[in-house]
Amino acid sequence: MAEKTCYGCGVEAGKFHEPGCLREECPFCHGQLVSCDCCYEHLKLDPEQEPTYSHGLNEEQQKEWDKILREKGLIPYGSETMY
């Protein structure tokens, strides 16, 4: 039986995880959102290039990635397929 709240971010079932929650599922690859490479793929970035590799997405890239995620459809807590 699933927990009523996410132990990673505390969100209730049926609501969206807090940004950066380790339990959030990527709507593209269905892996862990914070560790998958989908953002680089969809933003057409090479994750091996500096400064992306060492610093992650910049503010503009993060806003674009958030927009792409919302258009695809975030996965609410309790609806994940990876757990």
pLDDT in tens, the chain (83 residues): 468 999 999 999 999 999 999 999 999 999 999 999 999 999 999 877 767 667 788 999 999 999 999 999 999 999 988 65
Domain boundaries, the chain: 24-74
**Exposure letters 29-42 (e unless 16+ CB within 10 A, then b):** eeeebeeeebbbee
**What 8-state DSSP symbol labels residue 9?**
T
Cα distance between residue 31 and residue 48, in whole Å: 20
pLDDT of residue 48: 79
